[in-house]
Chain A
Amino acid sequence: MPSRGVGGAVARPASVAVTGAVPRLPAWSALGWFCRRKPLGAVGGALMLVVALGAVFAGSLAAYDPIETDAAHTLEPPGARHWLGSDHLGRDVYSRIVYGARVSLVVGLLSTVLGSVVGGLIGLLSGYFGGKADLLAQRVLDILQGLPLLVLALVMSATLGPSLPNVIVAISVPIVPRAARVIRASVLTIRESQYVEAARALGGGHGRLAFRHILPNTLGPFIVLATAQLGGAVLVEAALSFLGLGVPEPLPSWGRMLSVSAAEYAQKAPWLVLFPGIAISLLVFGSNLLGDALRDLLDPKLRGH
């Protein structure tokens, strides 16, 4: 059964991590090779890079302080003064989008990493040791996965309360079982391979075996999974913020920019609705493109998806 990544990309476990599909080259050439080979993936990577740069250099790129209000210039359409318009308090939409990139990326990345790492560890140990521990882990994962993603994130968020770290944890929780599933399946196949048999025969201890031999070969599917989940994490954060359970003020969040205030003024100021949504879409689109390209490269069995 294909397991579904949050971002929607269908991630099948790699049967064997492929070496040789990715040539070993110095960094720049590898990049160029990648761009030629997978142009769409390069576009995706570029989109994500733009967002990342915006997040990192927000201070210099933003035109105004994102939380500074200006009663004299509320709901201004995009123009010379406010490139992407201003909202009902006179805050500059462009600056809020630039700073909002921070929130979206931080939440998206950290929750994905947290969820994938925790899930990956569970999957690694569960797949490696098998037996009773595996069965138990499977049931626990079933529980977490049985609840629809947004519902679980909602309850977690309500439980933990509105703050940045809590939102990250809330969004990472649904990712854990999906990551565990993928890594575990990968581990199961690798475990029986001849390569590992040989290492075991040579007398490697469990730790060594697990971490030095099996783990690196799961890296392929792991990267694919992580990029697939990233887009989904950003979307969940947007939905949570839209419902009022996400990152709290005054941090500008793209999702929250779309909630209450945007909907109220949508007719008079459609730019309040369009731009944050476009920002979210571009980031997720980029991560999906990149994820697709990486999966194509790292797992030829899935080529053509």
Chain B
Amino acid sequence: MSAFLAFALAVTAVNAVRPPAARATPAPRRGGILRLMLREDLPQGFAIHETATNSTVWPSLPCFNNLVTFQPLKPVERPDTIVGDLAERWAWTSDYRALTFTLRRHVRWHDGQPLTAKDVKYTFDMVREAPEASARLRINPRKDWYAAVEAIDVPDPYTVTFRLRRPQPSLLMMLASGYSPVYPAHIAPAEFRTRCVGTGPFRLKEWRKGEYVEYVRNPEYFVPGRPYLDGLRYVVIAERGTRFAALQAGQLDAAMPAEGTRTIVEQLKAAAPRMVVSEINVGVNDNLLLNTKRPPFNDVQVRRALSLAVDRRAYVRAVHQGGAVVGAALSPPPTGAWGLSAADLEGLPGYGRPADDKARARKLLADAGYGPGRPLRVEVATRAISLYVDFASFVINELRQVGIDGTLRQVETAQWHPLVTRREFEIAANLTGLGVDDPDANLYENYACGSPRNYGDYCDDQVMQLVEQQSREIDPKKRLAIVWQIQRKLEADAARPMMGWRLDYFAQWPYVRNLVPHHSAYNWSRMQDVWLDR
């Protein structure tokens, strides 16, 4: 058969199996104001580097840029979806001990000053609390992200090099997170608690405290033709029911991440069938803190018994009405890159058949000397918010079934971190949100020996070694294997039993285009490419 014919047949065959071309999406239109919701007023204004909450990041991201960011239109966040933001290009040295960025030129801050590499050095020296840093953050939650950075060099105004003490491939992921914007060197960081000066697609117009935040288009934005929108309006509505009622009535255009539980969104979709809902894994997990310094939780068997007692799948059903997935210390696949899949979890405490697991739990407790005559009494501390209380109540209920006598203790939000930092708890129902799906951003903070946020004080030399090893490992496959091994050990040791990873049901009206929810809460709200199709 002639080559031509073969080629023609091949093309035909390919066209036959390719799905019919999707209706072409229309070309973006300019104009309009996107109306969004906030669940509370910005706690510290636009000072992203001084907070760890989406109430700051979600409405502040449009003001800023990072060195690099995740592709806005792709829902998963991976090293291969990282694109340049303020950086045109970047390169690792072959030993992954230095990362050099080449910055774009002609980028201006909102007050007209030019962006140079000095701003980058200033920002990250400040965050990593370098001795030569020229400014200090009042509150600095992510200092440890940059612990491996030895120095930041600025050989010329558009080149920045991060020199590391040891290889750390994760550095790039962390710089892409919404938590790593670049601050201007000529403005004190405290100013960001009241106003925002960035390089981003939108300029702050007004922040009416307790009511709304308004942005206008930045006409000098460095991406030509962007943003499409004329402005943004974030409205503060404290009651969740009211927020969604406003969305339903068309007074708002889109929701906020980690707000849409399954039940609420079902109600929303029933009333407004045209609403577009995306199921996303926002990188927030529920976990149990066990104080390993307090007997009997220093006994790994007792901890294991506790973990066995709580049926994770029942947890997903009862507390989240199915709106969660089971997983270990890192976000589970397919949305997470490093987590253990459901198949991997079989055999770990809490994921087996509930009756068997609970029987094993009772036996372990009996071995430790607890039984019907001498029940184990525990106190489960939790924040005085209904979501956490539901979580803790479920756990207490499960523990009751293996003979553990649990009481609930509610702690006001302001008291929560001091309490867990002082380790004044036995068991605590906790929530952890991950800034970026990366082992370094997660494991050090929560499981490293001596980390102040390792609230359970779990310390295992082997795990520590593995964590260090994976942080330096350049081969992704090898690294993944180590991370899996770590997670299995953590669950087997019941270091911080994971309950589940919440699913968010992000709702938006169909005329909101190019607002693609990512499988994270913090990294996708720049609104640079969003446009309104009406």
Chain A residues close to B by CB (< 8 Å): 67-69, 71, 74-75, 88-90, 161-162, 244, 248-250, 260-268
Q: Pick the contact of B390 from A68, A89, A264, A266 — CB < 8 Å?
A: A89
Minimum Cβ distance to chain A for residue B415 (Å)? 8
| Residues of chain B within 8 A of A267, CB atoms compared | 245, 267, 271
Q: Is the CB of A244 within 8 A of B241?
A: no
Residue of B nearest to A72 (CB): B317
Chain B 364-395, CB-CB to A under 8 Å as 1, else 0, gives 00000000000000000000101001100110
| Residues of chain A within 8 A of B270, CB atoms compared | 268
Chain B 348-360, CB-CB to A under 8 Å as 1, else 0, gives 0000000000000
Q: Is the CB of B393 within 8 A of A249?
A: yes
Chain B 207-245, CB-CB to A under 8 Å as 1, else 0, gives 000000000000000000000000000000001111011
Q: Is the CB of B386 within 8 A of A265?
A: no
Minimum Cβ distance to chain A for residue B418 (Å)? 14
Chain B residues close to A by CB (< 8 Å): 239-242, 244-245, 263-264, 266-267, 270-271, 314, 317-319, 321-322, 384, 386, 389-390, 393-394, 397, 408, 410, 412
Complex formed: what's the CA distance from A267 to B244 in Å?
Answer: 11
Number of A-B contacts (CB under 8 A): 66
Q: Is the CB of A264 within 8 A of B321?
A: no
Complex formed: what's the CA distance from A248 to B389 in Å?
Answer: 10
Interface of chain B, main secondary structure: helix
Q: Is the CB of A248 within 8 A of B384?
A: yes
Q: Is the CB of B239 within 8 A of A260?
A: yes
* Seed contacts A265-B241, A267-B267; 12 additional CB < 8 Å A-B pairs: A89-B390, A90-B318, A249-B384, A249-B389, A249-B393, A260-B239, A262-B241, A263-B240, A263-B241, A263-B242, A265-B263, A267-B271
Q: Is the CB of A67 within 8 A of B393?
A: yes
Q: Is the CB of B263 within 8 A of A266?
A: no
Q: Is the CB of B264 within 8 A of A264?
A: yes
Residue of B nearest to A256 (CB): B386
| Residues of chain A within 8 A of B318, CB atoms compared | 69, 71, 89-90
Q: Is the CB of A74 within 8 A of B263?
A: yes
| Residues of chain A within 8 A of B314, CB atoms compared | 71
Minimum Cβ distance to chain A for residue B292 (Å)? 27
| Residues of chain B within 8 A of A90, CB atoms compared | 318
Minimum Cβ distance to chain B for residue A103 (Å)? 15
| Residues of chain A within 8 A of B397, CB atoms compared | 68-69
Tell whether A71 pairs with B321 under 8 Å between CB atoms, given A161-B412, A248-B410, A250-B393. yes
| Residues of chain B within 8 A of A88, CB atoms compared | 263, 321
Residue of A nearest to B393 (CB): A250
| Residues of chain B within 8 A of A162, CB atoms compared | 384, 410, 412
Complex formed: what's the CA distance from A268 to B318 in Å?
Answer: 19
13 residue pairs A–B, Cβ–Cβ below 8 Å = A69-B318, A71-B318, A74-B263, A162-B410, A244-B384, A249-B384, A250-B389, A250-B408, A261-B386, A264-B239, A264-B241, A265-B263, A266-B241
